[in-house]
Structure 1
Amino acid sequence: MSSAQEIKGDAKAGESKVAMCIGCHGIKGYQATFPEVHKVPMISGQSAKYIVSALSAYRAAERKHPSMRGIADSLTDQDMADVAAYYSANGVLEGAPAIPAKPSREPSAKVAELLTKGNCISCHGDNFSKPIDPAYPKIAGQHADYLFVALKSYKVAGNAQIGRSNGVMAGVAKPFSNAELKLMANYLSTLDTELKVVPEKPFR
């Protein structure tokens, strides 16, 4: 059986399958309250392969989040591929300026030191928007509070409700204090991004 990553997604089909997504991801400024208050991540403009990877991780309980687990459990591999194809193209404008190859905003010396320690560019790219593998997320411009919650989740072990199981990211996140993770998240959120929230009509 082929994996979800090998299934070709259809953005048009995906448009009819995102009703359960738009209540959070289609509202600008929408905040989740679990595991703490934070803006839900921007997923329009994210790579399709990453969206499938994330949904698959929720379904496999490698990412622990009750609401997202329930949604992922309701999706077939084809559904995931279609939803991912839809969001990867949603709001993307042909001819839009490319994201600079290097961040236009320089980090502080402290943040630069932390990013180097984490070797973040080795996976997420020099501008944090061109990962070396599309299964990795674009993180430039993502909401700071979401990035902070996500980074902290890789440090959690043995909790049935929260946490993320990823050997690479756990190894990256655990040496940092939460204050250091917040500094990095705050900087990354200020960078040029391809990510956006595209307001969706609640009724179709």
Structure 2
Amino acid sequence: MSLNPAHADDLVGNAANGENKIAMCIGCHGIVGYQSSFPEVYKVPMISRQGSRYIVNALNAYKSGERKHPTMRSVAKGLTDQDMADIAAYYESHGSATTVPDQPGAPSAQVNELLTKGACNSCHGANFSKPLDPSFPKIAGQHRDYLFVALKSYKSEGNSTWGRGNAIMGGVAKQFTNAELRELANYIGKQPGELQVVPQAKFR
């Protein structure tokens, strides 16, 4: 049985238990260079060292349909709130700890204008790796093609199998052309970050 969101926020994840619940995750997120082909070809996101609260929020968004992706929704619908908390705790601690600079590399004037317009660091932090709230994702160093597809998904409307319904990110993404979103994704994806793809034992 699923808990209501207020109670779900109080759940404490157990990383050791989470390691026994990731069979449906490692087939995509545990293979270096693995690519999705829906709705276009792009590398699946790195989730090792991602914040646990964000992972739980993302899984709940797939489960509720706020994020539309058939495969991820199928996975998320099979998870309880405790499963999500345990999996998220596992991935938050999975991989090697890295030191990330407090500030990202200097952007071009064009990219700086786009970052300012989108106020990207107001949620994701000045270095895009220390979000101002744990429910926001670390995005520095994330795969650039994934970032671009994710940003575009917030602009998608009326598609039953693809798109994301987050009002804040929708408002941000819809300010930009796809070419501008690609510029943002390319810059943020080149920044040093904590996110990693760590091959699971069965794929090494």
TM-score range, shorter chain: over 0.9
CA RMSD of aligned residues (A): 1.1
Question: With structure 1 as the length reference, what TM-score do the two structures score?
Answer: 0.95
Runs of 4+ displaced beyond 2 Å: 1-5
State yes or no: 1:25 paired with 2:16: no
Structure 2 distance, partners of 1:28, 1:193, is: 17
State yes or no: 1:148 paired with 2:148: yes
Structure 2 distance, partners of 1:6, 1:65, is: 27
Question: Following superposition of structure 1 onto structure 2, how do residues 153-168 of structure 1 map, counting pairs within 5 Å?
Answer: 153-168=153-168
Structure 2 residue corresponding to 1:91, chosen from 69, 91, 95: 95
| Structure 1 spans left out of the alignment, 5+ residues | none
Question: Following superposition of structure 1 onto structure 2, how do residues 84-163 of structure 1 map, counting pairs within 5 Å?
Answer: 84-93=88-97, 96=98, 98-103=99-104, 105-163=105-163
Per-residue CA deviation, residues 142-197 of structure 1 (Å, 9 max, x unaligned), is: 00000000000000111100000011000000010000000000000110100000
Structure 1 distance, partners of 2:199, 2:7, is: 31
- Per-residue deviation at 1:3? 3.4
Identity within the alignment, %: 62
Please name the residue that 1:82 is paired with: 86
Per-residue CA deviation, residues 70-106 of structure 1 (Å, 9 max, x unaligned), is: 000000000000000000000133xx4x211111x21
Structure 2 distance, partners of 1:202, 1:20, is: 13
The aligned length equals 199
Question: With structure 2 as the length reference, what TM-score do the two structures score?
Answer: 0.95
Structure 1 counterpart of 2:43, which letter?
A: K
Structure 1 distance, partners of 2:112, 2:55, is: 28
